[in-house]
A and B are shown apart, each in its own frame.
Chain A
Amino acid sequence: MSQTLKKLRYKYWPDHIFGEILQKPWMETAVPLIVLIFTIVFFSAQIDNFISANNLSDNFRQAAELGFVVLGISLVLIVGGIDLSVASIFALCNLLVLYCMHVWQMPLIGAVSVTLLLGAALGAINGILIGYFRMRAFLTTMVTLIVFKAIHDLLNVKVAVAISSNFPDSPAWDRMGYGAILSIPTVVWAFGILAIFTHIFLTRLRYGWWLLAVGGNRRSAYNTGLPVNRIVALSYVASGVLTAASAIFYAARLASPGADTGKGLEITVLTAAILGGIRLGGGKGSVMKAILGTLIILLITNGLLRMATPAGTSRIILATILLLAATLDIRWFKNRHKAVQELYVSPALLELPGLSKDATSPDSDYAPNERLHDVEIIGLGQVEAPEDVVLDEDDNLYCGSRHGDIIRFFAPDYKRHEVYARIGGQPLGMTFDAEYNLYVCVGGMGLYRVTRDRKVELVTDETNRHFLSIIDDSRLRLADDLDILPDGRILFSEATVRYEMHEWPTDALEGRGNGRIIMYDPKQNKTTTVLRNLIFPNGIVVASDKQSILFAESWNCTIKRYWFEGPKKGKVEMVIPNLPGYPDNINRASDGNYWLAIMGMRSQVFDLSMRKPGFRRRMSKQLPGDEWLAPNINIGCIVKFNEAGEILDVLWDRQGINHPMITSMREHKGYLYIGGITNNRIGRLKLDDADETYVSSGKYHVG
């Protein structure tokens, strides 16, 4: 009973999504969002009609006005500066647009453009001083705050009466202030459009990335050649323009040339930006955060106002909320990665069938022998980590290396070698197509092709994203092994979508179906995922009917067969259910059977722990990563099997001298070539009574 419950729980309860959700960048915005929700809930419980349409429209109108300025200061904060002068820029622009409309009776377009220009000019003063003269942002904008404010105060006494005694005759101007489109205030529309554009700008466009780059690391941005001075200066110009835009809407609504216009605005917008989670110091921030911060500060101040809270009490409440929210946000920002680390590893239940016989007993299918003891050694010490080996029509030998190269050993004696191509990532499975272009699965990079004239080309590095996926599974993280169909389509395995290549032991500890099989169609240049939720799919080979593949699931210790077309299309059948070790690459043998590399033997302890997910979860939370259990990758073994799943032959390197582990082998003209990802050599073994013309890659398709 409890076993059934456990099975159901691990089958249906999605442990892994919590860590994945927590890992998403938008989770950084979680704290401001929660604060906003609490604010809304609190005030709607305290105040009648807090959520009424009227009040909302009023709040949104104010929020949009404030939002322009917050967005502006956010851009400056993202670049790593600060702009205190917004309050005075706001006041000056308010004065100018009112004077243009009321006294000069300018057309709306003219007044708006002049005011925006003034905002840009005032911002440019800050920008030039801070960007080009490299003055300190805080001090400079503080001084310009005082200077602009003084100019405003001097002008205000001269023009206030003229403004108040004239009125513009402009319906468009009134619509800006009070109007609504589809019952949403004009200013909200304007702000919404601007916010969407700014979001796209910051997240999708090059110049937005430049802002984030300068804020994230000014020195690196400078060293990569970005025009740091200009970017910094322009951020202040943007802040000035946005402040001017806010002032225009404010002026249209209130038409008030008050002496106190914009007083304390710099504190309000700075508070809004920080409450939204935009960091002082730069490099972090988004439009969503600016909007959330604006809404929080506005709802709190308006809510307290409507509750008729005494000024002193409301100040205390405001200060307390600000400090609590900031503390929460900063703690969250600082410790989120720890929470992710703890939650991300989510072991699944994996019940491997028990081993029927002692694998080492002489009468078992896998009875050990010493047949790999006397292999001929190629390239000893000259290659590192040849995960896969492959031979061309001239019998030259190719293998990958840890350094991201493809090495070629020259036939016939394989004494000389050269770097055939530089890939940049670790080459794993390799195979030739009929034209002898070399196709390579590269860990962390995707599927690549090395043409006959040695040009390295990307074939594919993304596939269709699953609609339920939380982590972005469109990127190829760990393409592992591949085979090519006669018509040129390529089927390859991706071992896991949750971990990088060097983290494979963690994926083994999870024992979850994180892997998949992907098909690349060169005719349509389309990549599609054909089979999901496989437990570390590794070796792949096209079966004899050309309608199906055989593939190995490493941590599941099985070989399965999958039909990608024909009458059994979509079906998966078990071929070998219970291997004594972890299977790796599969390749064809000359007699129509298959070679399978075994990279390590199962152990009772690891098998037991795979049946106990809770134990592994505790281990992953309480122990440092280097003390976690990991599967044995410690043996050199090659198995020959047929499509019925019968074990036909076994080759062992029992002493582990030549091949302490084997990840791949390839039969070529009567020899078996052996590679292993932890080896520093390639082995060659003469096969008795094998077809001496047989090649397993390249031209074999044709004919």
Chain B
Amino acid sequence: MLNLLRGRKLDQQIIVLILFILIFLSFAVFLPGFISAGNILTLVRSVSVLGILGLGMAIVVIGRGIDLSMIATLAVPAAWVMTLAGAGYPPVLAILAGLAFAIATGVLNGVLVAYAEIPALFATLAVGIGIAGIGQSGLFEYDIVAWPPALDSISWIGRGVILGIPYSILAFLAAALVVHIFLKKTRMGFFIYALGDNLLAARITGVRVRPIIILQYVMASVIALFAGLVLAASSANMDTRIFNLTWIYDVILVVVLGGIGLSGGRGGVWNVIIGTLLIGTIINGMTIMNVSFEGQNLVRGMVLLAALMTDSILNPRNEETAKQGDI
């Protein structure tokens, strides 16, 4: 631990890591039943979908964007896959159709941001509203789509357990590995960092930034579909009304709390994992303490505020280097 800290700046990632360890330790000491293996698994499982969404959001945020349509993309294509499979289409076809839907959403987001140059915040917000609208207009018979027996062949991604570890945790880890390799080992991943850091410089050096912006939104959408299938498999249904914004705020918080700056070009998969664990620990601890939903929100908000404030005091913004339009 100290080795990890030595020689590193006290940045947000480290602060959140320390915060996570402190909270984890104090819960372990003061909360009976927190440290048991069963509870730890519950903790991770409860946030694994949030973590998977965080991975998709991380790609977009590193490329200096934001994707507010992820919850809609989580719900609607996944529910469509289930509806199609339930209607008798072969599972492979149903999944391909859902994938096509998700990719189309990502391309739409990307085109609006990269070519129409609409601020990502606004473009993805509107696309999210539109996707939710499509979900509501006759695509599904009921708002809550049940997991069809035809898809039971893949239901293990949300339900199965291997060596005592639930598959949804493994799904999170697998997604984390894939995203990590993409970001750190491939040229495209490197370009995402480049354009997130300085879009104009990346463009001048010959990176074709617009297709890459589209790519990052497509990846986010596909990851959202994956998260949706994991969620649906684990709860055996998909509520298409979950299009609400508090959840997307959680996803953004996971990403940013872990240390991926909204100004882009910084951070990686580790940051998402740390952010997810912190949120998961807080939620889990408070659930054990039987704190009400509103109380949980309040405490969570205060913790986050404290983390953000510590970061801005330790790494104050420099007026000379602050980027215009950072919000």
- Which chain A residues have a beta carbon within 8 Å of chain B's beta carbons? 80-82, 129, 133-140, 142-147, 149-151, 153-154, 217-219, 222, 228, 264, 267, 270-271, 274, 280-282, 310-320, 322-323, 326-327, 330-331, 334
Q: Indicate which residue in B130, B253, B298 contacts A142 across the interface (CB closer than 8 Å).
A: B253
Which residues of B sit under 8 angstroms from A314, Cβ to Cβ? 133
Q: Indicate which residue in A142, A219, A316 contacts B137 across the interface (CB closer than 8 Å).
A: A316
Q: Determine if B319 and A319 form an interchain contact, defined as CB atoms under 8 angstroms apart.
A: no
Which residues of B sit under 8 angstroms from A140, Cβ to Cβ? 305, 308
Which residues of B sit under 8 angstroms from A281, Cβ to Cβ? 119, 324-325, 327
Which residues of A sit under 8 angstroms from B297, Cβ to Cβ? 146-147, 149-150, 153
Q: Indicate which residue in B123, B125, B312 contacts A134 across the interface (CB closer than 8 Å).
A: B312
- In the complex with contacts A319-B129, A319-B133, A222-B319 CB distance below 8 A: yes
Q: Determine if B301 and A150 form an interchain contact, defined as CB atoms under 8 angstroms apart.
A: yes
User: Complex formed: what's the CA distance from A499 to B294 in Å?
Assistant: 63
The 0/1 profile, CB within 8 Å of A marked 1, for residues 102-123 of chain B is: 0000000000100011110111
Smallest CB separation, A308 vs chain B (Å) = 14
List the B residue with the shortest CB-CB distance to A157: B294
User: Complex formed: what's the CA distance from A139 to B302 in Å?
Assistant: 13
Q: Determine if A310 and B126 form an interchain contact, defined as CB atoms under 8 angstroms apart.
A: no
User: Complex formed: what's the CA distance from A282 to B324 in Å?
Assistant: 8
Binds A, one of B40-48, B145-153, B244-252, B274-282: B244-252
Q: Is the interface of B mostly helix, strand, loop or mixed?
A: helix
Q: Determine if B304 and A143 form an interchain contact, defined as CB atoms under 8 angstroms apart.
A: yes
Which residues of A sit under 8 angstroms from B317, Cβ to Cβ? 134
The 0/1 profile, CB within 8 Å of A marked 1, for residues 283-325 of chain B is: 0000000001011011011101100110011001101101011
User: Complex formed: what's the CA distance from A310 to B125 in Å?
Assistant: 20
Q: Determine if A154 and B295 form an interchain contact, defined as CB atoms under 8 angstroms apart.
A: yes
List the A residue with the shortest CB-CB distance to B296: A150
- Which chain B residues have a beta carbon within 8 Å of chain A's beta carbons? 112, 116-119, 121-123, 125-127, 129-130, 132-138, 245-246, 249, 252-253, 256, 262, 292, 294-295, 297-298, 300-302, 304-305, 308-309, 312-313, 316-317, 319-320, 322, 324-327
User: Complex formed: what's the CA distance from A138 to B322 in Å?
Assistant: 15
Q: Determine if A319 and B305 form an interchain contact, defined as CB atoms under 8 angstroms apart.
A: no
Q: Determine if B326 and A315 form an interchain contact, defined as CB atoms under 8 angstroms apart.
A: no
13 contacts between A and B (CB under 8 A): A135-B312, A142-B252, A144-B301, A147-B298, A219-B324, A267-B245, A270-B122, A274-B122, A310-B136, A312-B132, A312-B134, A318-B126, A326-B126
Q: Determine if B130 and A316 form an interchain contact, defined as CB atoms under 8 angstroms apart.
A: yes
Which residues of B sit under 8 angstroms from A138, Cβ to Cβ? 121, 262, 327
Q: Determine if B118 and A323 form an interchain contact, defined as CB atoms under 8 angstroms apart.
A: yes
Q: Determine if B138 and A129 form an interchain contact, defined as CB atoms under 8 angstroms apart.
A: no
Which residues of B sit under 8 angstroms from A282, Cβ to Cβ? 324-325
- In the complex with contacts A142-B252, A281-B325, A315-B129, A133-B309 CB distance below 8 A: yes
Q: Determine if B112 and A323 form an interchain contact, defined as CB atoms under 8 angstroms apart.
A: yes
Q: Determine if A326 and B118 form an interchain contact, defined as CB atoms under 8 angstroms apart.
A: yes
Which residues of B sit under 8 angstroms from A153, Cβ to Cβ? 294, 297
User: Complex formed: what's the CA distance from A142 to B313 in Å?
Assistant: 19
- In the complex with contacts A140-B305, A147-B298, A274-B122, A218-B127 CB distance below 8 A: no
Q: Determine if B309 and A323 form an interchain contact, defined as CB atoms under 8 angstroms apart.
A: no
Q: Indicate which residue in A82, A154, A228, A334 contacts B117 across the interface (CB closer than 8 Å).
A: A334
List the B residue with the shortest CB-CB distance to A141: B327
Q: Determine if A136 and B326 form an interchain contact, defined as CB atoms under 8 angstroms apart.
A: yes
Which residues of A sit under 8 angstroms from B325, Cβ to Cβ? 80, 280-282
Smallest CB separation, A194 vs chain B (Å) = 25
User: Complex formed: what's the CA distance from A222 to B324 in Å?
Assistant: 13
Q: Determine if A146 and B308 form an interchain contact, defined as CB atoms under 8 angstroms apart.
A: no
User: Complex formed: what's the CA distance from A315 to B138 in Å?
Assistant: 13
Smallest CB separation, A324 vs chain B (Å) = 10
Which residues of B sit under 8 angstroms from A135, Cβ to Cβ? 308-309, 312
Q: Which 6 A-B pairs have the closest CB atoms?
A: A315-B133, A312-B136, A312-B137, A281-B325, A319-B130, A147-B301
Q: Determine if B324 and A312 form an interchain contact, defined as CB atoms under 8 angstroms apart.
A: no
Q: Determine if B137 and A310 form an interchain contact, defined as CB atoms under 8 angstroms apart.
A: yes
- In the complex with contacts A150-B294, A326-B126, A315-B132 CB distance below 8 A: yes
Q: Indicate which residue in B125, B319, B327 contacts A219 across the interface (CB closer than 8 Å).
A: B319
User: Complex formed: what's the CA distance from A37 to B132 in Å?
Assistant: 28
Smallest CB separation, A125 vs chain B (Å) = 9
Which residues of A sit under 8 angstroms from B302, Cβ to Cβ? 147
List the B residue with the shortest CB-CB distance to A317: B133
List the B residue with the shortest CB-CB distance to A311: B136
List the B residue with the shortest CB-CB distance to A125: B305
Which residues of A sit under 8 angstroms from B246, Cβ to Cβ? 146
Q: Determine if B116 and A136 form an interchain contact, defined as CB atoms under 8 angstroms apart.
A: no
Q: Determine if B118 and A327 form an interchain contact, defined as CB atoms under 8 angstroms apart.
A: yes
Which residues of B sit under 8 angstroms from A320, Cβ to Cβ? 130
Given A136-B327, A311-B133, A326-B122: 9 more A-B contacts, CB < 8 Å: A134-B317, A136-B262, A140-B305, A150-B295, A150-B298, A153-B297, A267-B245, A315-B129, A318-B130
Q: Most chain-B CB neighbours within 10 Å: which of A138, A139, A154, A310?
A: A139
Smallest CB separation, B234 vs chain A (Å) = 25
Which residues of B sit under 8 angstroms from A82, Cβ to Cβ? 327
Which residues of B sit under 8 angstroms from A219, Cβ to Cβ? 319-320, 322, 324
Smallest CB separation, B322 vs chain A (Å) = 6
- In the complex with contacts A80-B325, A318-B129, A319-B129, A146-B249 CB distance below 8 A: yes
Q: Indicate which residue in A133, A143, A145, A217 contacts B324 across the interface (CB closer than 8 Å).
A: A217
Q: Determine if A147 and B305 form an interchain contact, defined as CB atoms under 8 angstroms apart.
A: yes
Which residues of B sit under 8 angstroms from A313, Cβ to Cβ? 133, 137
- In the complex with contacts A147-B297, A282-B325, A327-B253 CB distance below 8 A: no
Which residues of A sit under 8 angstroms from B135, Cβ to Cβ? 312
Q: Determine if A133 and B313 form an interchain contact, defined as CB atoms under 8 angstroms apart.
A: yes
Q: Determine if B252 and A154 form an interchain contact, defined as CB atoms under 8 angstroms apart.
A: no
Smallest CB separation, A83 vs chain B (Å) = 10
Which residues of B sit under 8 angstroms from A326, Cβ to Cβ? 116, 118, 122-123, 126
Which residues of A sit under 8 angstroms from B136, Cβ to Cβ? 310-312, 315
Q: Determine if B134 and A133 form an interchain contact, defined as CB atoms under 8 angstroms apart.
A: no
List the A residue with the shortest CB-CB distance to B69: A319
Which residues of B sit under 8 angstroms from A322, Cβ to Cβ? 122, 126, 129
Q: Determine if A143 and B294 form an interchain contact, defined as CB atoms under 8 angstroms apart.
A: no
Which residues of A sit under 8 angstroms from B116, Cβ to Cβ? 323, 326-327, 330-331
User: Complex formed: what's the CA distance from A82 to B245 in Å?
Assistant: 16
Which residues of A sit under 8 angstroms from B130, Cβ to Cβ? 315-316, 318-320, 323
Which residues of B sit under 8 angstroms from A318, Cβ to Cβ? 126, 129-130, 133
Q: Indicate which residue in A267, A311, A315, A327 contacts B112 across the interface (CB closer than 8 Å).
A: A327
Smallest CB separation, A529 vs chain B (Å) = 41
Smallest CB separation, B142 vs chain A (Å) = 13
Q: Determine if B294 and A142 form an interchain contact, defined as CB atoms under 8 angstroms apart.
A: no
List the A residue with the shortest CB-CB distance to B249: A142
User: Complex formed: what's the CA distance from A143 to B117 in Å?
Assistant: 27
User: Complex formed: what's the CA distance from A334 to B117 in Å?
Assistant: 10
Q: Determine if A280 and B298 form an interchain contact, defined as CB atoms under 8 angstroms apart.
A: no
List the A residue with the shortest CB-CB distance to B298: A150
List the B residue with the shortest CB-CB distance to A281: B325
User: Complex formed: what's the CA distance from A425 to B264 in Å?
Assistant: 44
Q: Determine if A323 and B123 form an interchain contact, defined as CB atoms under 8 angstroms apart.
A: yes
Which residues of B sit under 8 angstroms from A154, Cβ to Cβ? 292, 294-295, 298
Smallest CB separation, B120 vs chain A (Å) = 9
Q: Determine if B319 and A144 form an interchain contact, defined as CB atoms under 8 angstroms apart.
A: no
Q: Indicate which residue in B119, B245, B300 contacts A264 across the interface (CB closer than 8 Å).
A: B245
List the A residue with the shortest CB-CB distance to B300: A146
User: Complex formed: what's the CA distance from A267 to B126 in Å?
Assistant: 10
Which residues of B sit under 8 angstroms from A331, Cβ to Cβ? 116
Smallest CB separation, B154 vs chain A (Å) = 28
Smallest CB separation, A251 vs chain B (Å) = 21
Q: Most chain-A CB neighbours within 10 Å: which of B126, B312, B317?
A: B126
Q: Determine if A330 and B117 form an interchain contact, defined as CB atoms under 8 angstroms apart.
A: yes
Which residues of A sit under 8 angstroms from B326, Cβ to Cβ? 136
Which residues of A sit under 8 angstroms from B112, Cβ to Cβ? 323, 327
Which residues of B sit under 8 angstroms from A217, Cβ to Cβ? 324
Q: Determine if A312 and B327 form an interchain contact, defined as CB atoms under 8 angstroms apart.
A: no
